[in-house]
């Protein structure tokens, strides 16, 4: 559902956005030509739209902005990760006041996000640089090549 939502609204709301990977708990969206701040804002809007469209308790959060990123296969990727910058949308549960029942609704509130760090961190998941079942020399060479 999230993939079709992003793909259908990309020309109107998120120009050039393309979902490169998505499964039950994660979504990678390519946002070509955007600055990190613009990509972070678009990512927050996408996360908010997906959260609104999904039943509770589903909440999609933006964790990182990768610039660049190598996506090898499902759950296997590496890149320069930036965390922070701009504002973010946070889901806040509010109880219906004056109601005898204890119904609550979810409201999205925009709050300041910490600034992007001047230097990104190297982030790798599921590839030989972080796996313990490969040769240490291969892990070091691969990480060196990815950093370059």
User: What is residue 11's predicted lDDT score, i.e. its pLDDT?
Assistant: 59
d(CA 96, CA 119): 44
Contact in structure between 68 and 27 (CB atoms under 8 Å): no
Extract the residue ranges of the chain whose pLDDT is less than 70: 1-5, 7-12, 84-91, 94-104, 106, 110, 112-117
Spatial distance between the Cα atoms of 114 and 37, rounded to a whole number of angstroms: 12
User: Bridge partners of 19?
Assistant: 29
Q: Are 2 and 60 in contact (CB under 8 A)?
A: yes
- pTM value? 0.67
Element (H, E) at 44: helix 36-53
């Amino acid at each position: 559902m999230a993939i079709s939502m992003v793909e259908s609204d990309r020309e109107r709301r998120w120009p050039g956005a393309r979902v490169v990977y998505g499964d039950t708990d994660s979504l990678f969206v390519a946002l070509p030509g955007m600055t990190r701040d613009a990509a972070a804002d678009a990512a927050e809007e996408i996360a908010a739209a997906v959260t609104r469209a999904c039943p509770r308790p589903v909440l999609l959060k933006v964790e990182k902005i990768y610039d660049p990123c190598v996506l090898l296969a499902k759950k296997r990727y590496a890149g320069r990760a930036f965390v922070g910058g701009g504002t973010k949308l946070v889901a806040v549960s509010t109880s219906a006041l004056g109601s005898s029942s204890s119904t609550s609704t979810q409201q999205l509130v925009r709050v300041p996000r910490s600034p992007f760090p001047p230097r990104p961190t190297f982030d790798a998941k599921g590839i030989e640089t972080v796996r313990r079942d490969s040769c240490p020399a291969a892990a070091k060479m691969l990480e060196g090549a990815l950093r370059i």
